[in-house]
Amino acid sequence: MSKAVLITGFEPFNQFRVNSSWEGCRLVGKRMPAHVIARRLPVDHLAAREKLIRCLARHRPAICLCTGLTSSATFHIERVARKPVQFHGIRGPRVLKGAWPWDEMAEQLRKAKCPAVVSNNAGQYVCESTYWTLLAFRQQFGYPVYAGFLHVPPLSAVVTVEMIAKAAGCIIRARLEDASDATHPKGRNPGLGPTTASTRRAPHRSARG
């Protein structure tokens, strides 16, 4: 396992001619080339799964933050992933928990002035199937140590690429500051602690990528 950070976003889809998740990730990758590998995933359950697994196997990151687009104007910290029906032939648990210090992620979003809620419903679309793929890979191979998913709003007069990149960059930098812990899987369990962020359930989001 390396000390690399893998961050992913999605390609444009449906009415979203620009996918804010990828635009934010791309900018983070440009600004942090020594640490961050940014990759764009297709909006297709199996194709996204295959590309993510290739990236994980090739780069062996200690940290992986996947991002996707929500139609909401609020950032969503996704704590769990449910196995999609499209993966019925793939072995794995029905539900997997993310592995991240959720309090820390929420705090970094507050610092970046990004409105955020904690969610236990990643949408049952390609975003959630990709998150499940990440967590199933981690369960099987023991890395990345930190694995999480962040839904980001579409671009608007309020939400800019700079805002999304700042949010993701803050989240990653906070984990890199604790890099010695991230390279020791037998250290503290990153997925257990409670979060002091808003714990209200996120509303159903129909558009994701």
pLDDT at residue 2, as a whole number = 75
pLDDT at residue 185, as a whole number = 46
pLDDT at residue 16, as a whole number = 77
Domain 5-182: give its CATH superfamily: Peptidase C15, pyroglutamyl peptidase I-like (3.40.630.20)
pTM: 0.86
What residues in the chain have per-residue pLDDT under 70? 179-209
Give CA separation, 119 vs 49, 61, 81, 116, 185, in Å: 22, 25, 10, 9, 25
pLDDT at residue 208, as a whole number = 52
Cα–Cα distance measured from residue 102 to residue 135, given in angstroms and rounded to the nearest whole number: 16
pLDDT at residue 207, as a whole number = 52
Map residue 54 onto helix, strand or coil.
helix
pLDDT at residue 209, as a whole number = 53
**Cβ burial, residue 149 (10 Å; 0-12/13-18/19+):** buried
pLDDT at residue 179, as a whole number = 60
CB of 163 closer than 8 Å to CB of 116: no
Helix ranges (DSSP H) in 60-184: 102-111, 126-141, 161-176, 179-182
In the chain, where the domains are located: 5-182
Which active-site residues does the annotation give? 78, 127, 151
